[in-house]
Amino acid sequence: MTLPLHAATSGVIAVSGLLLWLAEGVIPFFQERISRRSHAFANLGLGAINLIIILPSGIATAAILESATTRYHGIVAFIPGTFPRSLFILLLLDLWMYLWHRLNHEFPLLWRFHSVHHSDWQLDVTSSWRFHPGEILLSELLRLPFLVLFGAGVQDLLLYNLLMTPVIQLHHSNIRFPEPLDRLLRLFVPTPLLHRIHHSPLRSEHDANYGAMLSLWDRLFGTLTVKPVTPETPVGLDGEDSPARQRMAALIKSPFRPF
């Protein structure tokens, strides 16, 4: 099951990303500010570097989980039935993503790395891959104990990625959504409107709407913010919109600059 699910995950991510990229060119919410290709180059360049971390980390994680689940069934062991257990693990994984995202905003050291993602002032689907390698490495390392604690298997992790990644791509996308559709979708998942608020330069706004796959956690923990967003609404971080600051080399050095 793992190999077909891995192939399906990669295929869905690639196809959904391409479709959203094409849709952005037809019905953009924010009007084009610089070349889409130039913008994508830095973001996807970071994504490619992160794959160098994610691929071996994924292999190591899979081996550890395979070994762990043969001896320890995790906190989901009390749940009868394969489907209920898998559903509960998916919820736990999404809760971890919410908490990890929130920690990245609340701890200054983590924010130094996460701010690379927020410094993107031209939000689009490629922004969903714009993360500093340091953040990705920390995320991979800190997540592993929780995966073992939950009792997650490799197939659970792949299934979560299959469901979660297209949602993340969608809410970063620069697509003009009808308000009634956004209002309906945000009952269940973070939408482009919610995430545009999250990418506001104002800390009071970007410290909200942390959800990855589900908007449930923001509602439950009181971090949901809903307000009108227009094509003129700024996104990004103050002082980070110069071409020099947006180059890939500058983004990699960014966490180590004096603030």
> What is the residue range of 231's domain?
2-256
**pLDDT (tens digit, 9 = 90+) per residue, 19-60?**
999 999 999 999 876 788 889 999 999 999 999 998 888 889
Instruction: State residue 5's pLDDT score.
Output: 60
Instruction: State residue 6's pLDDT score.
Output: 64
Q: Is 236 left (phi over 0), alpha (psi -120 to 50) or beta?
A: left
Strand partners, 28: 175
Structural domain count, the chain: 1
**pLDDT (tens digit, 9 = 90+) per residue, 137-172?**
999 999 999 999 998 888 899 999 999 999 999 999
Is residue 211 predicted with pLDDT exceeding 60? yes
Residues 6+ apart with CB under 8 A from 184: none
Is residue 1 predicted with pLDDT exceeding 60? no
**pLDDT (tens digit, 9 = 90+) per residue, 71-87?**
777 888 788 888 898 89
Report the length, in residues, of the chain.
259
Task: State which amino acid sits at residue 108.
Answer: P
Instruction: State residue 76's pLDDT score.
Output: 84
- Report the candidate in 249, 252, 236 with the shortest Cα–Cα distance to residue 53: 252
CA 245 to chain centre: 22
Helix segments in 107-259, DSSP class H: 108-118, 133-150, 154-172, 179-185, 192-198, 203-206, 216-221, 243-246, 248-253
Instruction: State residue 3's pLDDT score.
Output: 58
